[in-house]
Amino acid sequence: MCGLTGFINLKNDGANCEDYLRAMNLALTHRGPDDEGYWVHPQGALGLAHRRLSILDLSRQGHQPMSSASERYVMAFNGEVYNFLELRRQLNSTQWRGHSDTEVMLAAIEEWGIEAAVKKFVGMFAFALWDKKKRLLHLVRDRLGIKPLYCGWQGDSFLFGSELKALKAHPEFKGRIDRNSLALFMRHNYIPAPYSIYEGINKLLPGHILSLSLENPKQTSTPVSYWSVKDNVEQGMREPFTGSENEAVKQFETLLEDAIKLRMVSDVPLGAFLSGGVDSSTVVALMQANSSQPTKTFTIGFLEDGFNEAEHAKRVANHLGTDHTELYVSASQARDVIPRLPALYDEPFADASQIPTFLVSQLARQKVTVSLSGDGGDELLGGYIRYGRTNTIWNSLRKCPSMLRKILSRGMVSVPPSSWDALFHRIGFLLPPNLKVSNKGHKLHIFASLLNPKNDEDLYRELVSCWNDPTGAVLGSREPVTPFSSGHHWATTPTFIERMMFLDLITYLPDDNLAKVDRASMGVSLEARVPFLDHRVVEFALRLPLKMKIKNGEGKWLLKQILYKYVPGQMIERPKMGFAIPLGSWLSGPLRDWAENLLDEKRLQQEGFLDARLIREKWSEHLSGRRDWQLFLWNALMFQAWLEANKS
């Protein structure tokens, strides 16, 4: 796990090339504190830089940027290719200098060509490859988007890097905020690829290769896909798994166990995040089954009722016999992370679980350099509660005329949530247990929003939207086209649940969950590995019929059959909690002054990005208790905090 950066320089300003590279690379020190390296084109037309977090081959033979044996290629690489030993055996005629995966990758590219070689790589990666013979720069990102890669033109320089902070260190970086991307952020709480918060800078899409010729680098170059979720979803529908349930469980366990064993190869201490949920518990159970020593596991706990999973994780850890470390964090300790968020994430990012994710990464880094996580299981195996619930509701609503749905929706939202809460309180004794939930009025308003959609596209947009009208919140913006914008981006699937899972895989997973884990872990120089996103596991999961994923409204049926071989069901069977914090009460209490400063009406008007009247209205309603606007406000606050940290 490392960081990379570099640029193409049309001015051929060789005198300053290495100075620019050093400034860019310095910004990535947290991603690779163990080593740094530089390669500069003889005429200063191109430069590559690398920061190294030593995981495999700790010797100088793993130093980057690294040249191939023939000297044709130079590579700066972030990530891990776990099957490098197998590839090395296939390339046994090569004279090896060291024991790193980077050297094997270069040899594979020389032997098979870049696209054929990349298709053989099992792992997570983003890399820049300079081909001296063809004078081509290739930028490559892994299939699922586990590792980040930003790139784009700023003046006469094409900049690229693992994080935006590296690009910002180049003197030609403009830093103009893209209001259209900001509108996307206000909708999704993150900025979907290929966009970034800055004009002219994009995220390279997962599973793509971008190639630029040094002869004419500004000539439009379209990234080429070498692997896509859409193709694999549709192939899985054409060629579904036809074996029995027992055969599916056995085959999935074999694939996942192999993926985990590959990710346990490390020359430095290794462990795992453990929440006590299905995904992380399965990863840890299989790690422990394949280890002669207790697996090191890590959990963060909160003292607030309803926000603590540490007790569940501890029971699982004790049952499996792991070397478990838990840390109970006070509310003030968690809030102390907030000032660090703009620097960690580089662009506005408003998934509030970013705070506990950073804290558990910080805890793990005290004992290990590598940690496995359970990310990806929900998207692959139907784990999110909204999959089953939304599908059931939508199938019923389709039968209701759209005009009647619209009238019902307007009637529900015309009554304030506080009034609904009061009503439900009075008649609570009449309600069945499944309706005795908190914030009933707020949840009823959310349900009302699901009554209006005309089709699947509209419904999914409602489900994933924070601000339903983001262009109304962001002054002078137009919302760009994304995979949410039109059904022609969507894979052809027989059910709405499978369409939701597909869209989550190509958007929410890489741009929210994986970005969150990458920045939080790399912010403390910790490598996070994601076995569920081994592409062979993903491809098999996409062939499985939905009935093996969701049964009786419960997701991850198949995965639970594996887990229950190691952990009793009663330890796991509980409502899904997520990695949450008591954000609403914090905003009304200890964070109130911080939020009031960032949401000051005059300040909003002077900055000119967000509609001051709209933001202040929601802030006032939240403070009064009339509405719970915590997610909307956190979204606006994360932009405001980011803007304040990046004013220079």
Give the catalytic positions in this structure: 2
For residue 328, what are the β-bridge partners? 301
Name residues whose C-beta falls within 8 Å of residue 499's C-beta, 6 or more positions apart in sequence: 456, 460, 490, 491, 493
Distance CA 326, CA 299 (A): 5
Q: Tell me how far the alpha carbon of residue 329 is from its chain's centroid.
A: 24
Distance CA 61, CA 446 (A): 56
Name residues whose C-beta falls within 8 Å of residue 493's C-beta, 6 or more positions apart in sequence: 233, 237, 499, 502
569 contacts 290 by C-beta, under 8 angstroms: no
SS3 322: coil
Q: What are the b/e assignments for 169-207, b being 16+ CB within 10 Å?
A: bbebbeeebbbbbbbbbbbbbbbbbbbbbbbbbbbbbbb
Q: Take residue 280 and report the two structure tokens written for it.
A: 């992380």
Name residues whose C-beta falls within 8 Å of residue 494's C-beta, 6 or more positions apart in sequence: 237
**What 8-state DSSP symbol labels residue 508?**
I
96 contacts 103 by C-beta, under 8 angstroms: yes
Distance CA 56, CA 73 (A): 21
Q: Tell me how far the alpha carbon of residue 76 is from its chain's centroid.
A: 22
Question: CB neighbours (10 Å) of residue 583?
Answer: 19
Q: How long is the chain?
A: 648
DSSP string, 349-415: ---TTHHHHHHHHHHHHTT-SEEE--TTHHHHHT-SHHHHHHHHHHHHHTTS-HHHHHHHHHHHHHS
